[in-house]
Amino acid sequence: MDYWLMKSEPEVFSYDDLVKNGTEKWDGVRNYAARNNLRDMGVGDEALFYHSNAGKQTGVAGICKIVKAAEPDETFVPEAGKANPWVVVTVAPVRKLKRVVTLAELREVKGLEGMELFKYGRLSVQKVTAAEWAVVVGLE
């Protein structure tokens, strides 16, 4: 199993929205590095559901899992004769964290110094190592 971090602005789509919906296609990704990460996800992989641009509550809100591997993103309509380069995965909730583990807190934790979240802050879908995963989940 691999681990990931997936960002969403909570006023657009929050962890509670995912719980309410049951499953959701993670669509609208328009960055090639993030798209490649979506392609690399496998069924059963888990992801930290990260609320981005949420002020003091920016941080990890829950855990979700990949329930369907990459398929074409139907929200993108390519030009005539062009291929659709974008993909989606389908995610389902695993559990909401007891509290949001904030970005400010993550920055201070030993063992997370090399996390992609701090190197590629604008990347919406990121790889998380097993060691980083254990540290973050242990913080709640």
Domains of the chain, by residue range, sit at: 3-138
Question: Which pLDDT does position 140 carry in this prediction?
Answer: 83
* pLDDT tens for the 140 residues of the chain, in order: 999 999 999 999 999 999 999 999 999 999 999 999 999 999 999 999 999 998 999 999 999 999 999 999 999 999 999 999 999 999 999 999 999 999 999 999 999 999 999 999 899 999 999 999 999 999 98
Of the CATH numbers 3.40.50.170, 3.10.590.10, 3.40.50.300, 3.30.365.10, which one belongs to the domain with range 3-138? 3.10.590.10
Question: Which pLDDT does position 121 carry in this prediction?
Answer: 85
Question: Which pLDDT does position 108 carry in this prediction?
Answer: 96
* Residues contacting residue 37 through CB under 8 Å, at least 6 positions apart: 4, 125, 126, 127
Exposed/middle/buried for residue 128 (C-beta within 10 Å: 0-12, 13-18, 19+) = buried
**Selection from 129, 96, 118 nearest residue 10 by Cα:** 96
Other Cβ atoms less than 10 A from the Cβ of 99: the count is 13
Task: Kindly compute the dihedral angle of the four CA atoms of residues 127, 123, 49, 37, in this order, to the nearest 10 degrees.
Answer: -40
How would you list the strands of the sheet with 59-72, edge to edge? 24-25, 87-102, 59-72, 46-51, 3-8, 125-128
* Residues contacting residue 79 through CB under 8 Å, at least 6 positions apart: none
Other Cβ atoms less than 10 A from the Cβ of 38: the count is 24
Q: Give pTM, 2 decimals.
A: 0.95
